[in-house]
Amino acid sequence: MITVIKVGGNITDDDASLDQFLQQVARAEGPKLLVHGGGKSATELGKQLGISSRLIDGRRVTDAETLKLITMMYAGWINKHIVAKLQALGCNALGLCGADGQLVPSVQRSPVPVDYGFVGDPVENSVNVKLLHSLLEQGYCPVIAPVTLGKNGQLLNTNADTMASVLAAALSAEQRVQLIYCFEKNGVMNDPEEENSIVRELTPNTAEKLFDEGLIHSGMLPKLKAAFGAKERGVERVVIGHAFRLHELTKSDSTCTLLSMS
Amino acid sequence: MITVIKVGGNITDDDASLDQFLQQVARAEGPKLLVHGGGKSATELGKQLGISSRLIDGRRVTDAETLKLITMMYAGWINKHIVAKLQALGCNALGLCGADGQLVPSVQRSPVPVDYGFVGDPVENSVNVKLLHSLLEQGYCPVIAPVTLGKNGQLLNTNADTMASVLAAALSAEQRVQLIYCFEKNGVMNDPEEENSIVRELTPNTAEKLFDEGLIHSGMLPKLKAAFGAKERGVERVVIGHAFRLHELTKSDSTCTLLSMS
């Protein structure tokens, strides 16, 4: 079973949290790969440089300057910082972004109705699975930054939840795959105020119901869409849970949200 | 024959020059890998961020902030920018730094007599040649940024000329290798004022003589040391020449400096 792990920005932004999470990654058994986002790091670097990031509906607009920032920060600092830490923990990490070896070809999002700039969505059935299998077979743990390649050599900013989903789905064509979305909570909550109100099993129907009741906020929707998408396309097990409990999450369904199609 | 290409900062700093050079890289036949430096890009980003880089004898002192800058700029922006451009030219580039998959393990330079900070020198006979061969056999062109990994997960800034030398030497244990140092001149000059005064064949003796006569400036010495080091450790052909003529340099000894041990 291949384990695809996605980690959120609230974990990678904080060095102590990142360390605690990476210890769990290093302990996880079997072939594994890690997809990371960038959290607030690029926005903060942008501020220092006097580049303000424009958001539409909570999504960053990626102009040329922001794309450079993101590529530096996500594919450069965060990616190599994680690789270095994993190597120190005895995990043979190898950092890539979606542009490397055509790992995740993408297409720039249409400027209509909203122009998000240099943002790309992965092209279906085009992941370079051969490269991933070759690296996993050689014992490497690929660490993947959410930057991809569109037409004519255009780098594109890509949603990390989607990257993880697309990679897991592509790998599942040949092998059993589980996909674990790690963040700073134990799962999807019935009551955001109540730590113990985890939804143990989430179906598309219950997700819609929770959203209608205002219990899932809109920021969670892209993650759930990506997560259900992976499940639909053959990923055996999709879990949402706490980054510090990753090692348990790879083996047990307790204290987390397990996705189910029915 | 594997071709290891090193390109200098004056080429990568300028987008038009970089394009012209990368067209040559894409045309070069056979398995190839490219090592790049970072030129003035990190210094300029540092200035924008109010981080000044301290130089001792023309060498940058790498404190923690500068290391972050370098990793962002070299392993992030420049590396992926080159990968994207090569991909658009039909060359299946894949970007790595020395930390990825333990490609180039290094040791932090002693703080005595001069403390250069987070600067590392590659450990002899420790290059992950297996990873490189696997990528080359699969048709990838590795693009390598001069950031390496020391003890305890410490990222280290490493001289790109040395990286290229060490990688070429390591590959030459199993296969024939040529190493081509590309920069903005046609080779080592007898007379810096005279474009056509290229030293066609350079031996350690003639290099020393030229240096004593003040015709080779000190900035060129580390490159020559790295270049002769590769030749000594089994690299079949070592050439210094113009980045825009790379394709010819891979095949002919005209209009360039060819290194010779005697």
Residue listed under structure tokens 């070429």: B168
Report residue B9's pLDDT band, with 50, 70 and 90 as the boundaries.
Answer: confident
Across chain B, what does the average pLDDT equal?
93
Compute the average pLDDT of residues B208-216. Answer: 87
d(CA A204, CA A202): 7
d(CA A167, CA B120): 34
Nearest CA in chain A to B150: A84
Tell me which residue in A72, A89, A134 faces B134 most closely, judged by beta carbons.
A134
For residue B44, the model assigns a pLDDT of 87
Residue B57 has pLDDT above 90, yes or no: no
Chain A residues in contact with B88 by the CB 8 A cut-off are: 152-153
For residue A90, the model assigns a pLDDT of 98
More confident residue, B192 or B215: B215
With b meaning 16 or more CB within 10 Å and e meaning fewer, what string describes A112-121?
eeeebbbbbb
A80/B152 touch (CB, cutoff 8 Å), yes or no: no
More confident residue, B43 or A181: A181
Tell me which residue in B92, B96, B153 faces A84 most closely, judged by beta carbons.
B153
Interface test with A, best of B96, B100, B140, B147 (most A CBs within 10 A): B100
Chain A residues in contact with B93 by the CB 8 A cut-off are: 100-101
d(CA B259, CA B73): 32
Chain B residues in contact with A137 by the CB 8 A cut-off are: none
d(CA B161, CA A136): 31
Residue B65 has pLDDT above 80, yes or no: yes
Q: Which two tokens stand for residue A200?
A: 């143990």
Question: Which residues have C-beta within 8 Å of that of residue A35, sequence separation ≥ 6?
Answer: A4, A5, A6, A7, A144, A146, A160, A163, A164, A167
For residue A160, the model assigns a pLDDT of 96
d(CA A152, CA A92): 33
Interface test with B, best of A80, A86, A118 (most B CBs within 10 A): A80
d(CA A155, CA A76): 14
Chain B residues in contact with A95 by the CB 8 A cut-off are: 96-97, 99-100
User: Strand runs (DSSP E) across B38-133, as ranges?
Assistant: 55-56, 59-60, 93-97, 106-108, 120-122
Residue B60 has pLDDT above 80, yes or no: no
Q: Which two tokens stand for residue B64?
A: 């923690």
A96/B94 touch (CB, cutoff 8 Å), yes or no: yes
Nearest CA in chain A to B41: A72
**What ipTM was estimated for this complex?**
0.95
For residue B261, the model assigns a pLDDT of 93
Backbone angles phi, psi at B156, to 5 degrees: -135, 140
Q: Summarize pLDDT for B146-182 with one digit per residue, the tens.
A: 999 999 999 999 999 999 999 999 999 999 999 999 9
**Per-residue confidence of chain A (262 residues) as pLDDT tens digits?**
999 999 998 899 999 999 999 999 999 999 999 999 987 888 888 888 888 877 787 777 899 999 999 999 999 999 999 999 999 999 999 999 999 999 999 999 999 999 999 999 999 899 999 999 999 999 999 999 999 999 999 999 999 999 999 999 999 999 999 999 999 999 998 877 787 889 999 999 999 998 888 888 777 888 999 999 999 999 999 999 999 999 999 998 889 999 999 8
Tell me which residue in A72, A94, A138 faces B73 most closely, judged by beta carbons.
A72
Contact A97, B80 (CB under 8 A): yes
Tell me which residue in A74, A80, A88 faces B152 most closely, judged by beta carbons.
A88
For residue A192, the model assigns a pLDDT of 73
Chain B residues in contact with A74 by the CB 8 A cut-off are: 76
For residue A226, the model assigns a pLDDT of 96
- Calculate the CA A214 to chain-centre distance: 24
d(CA B64, CA A212): 48
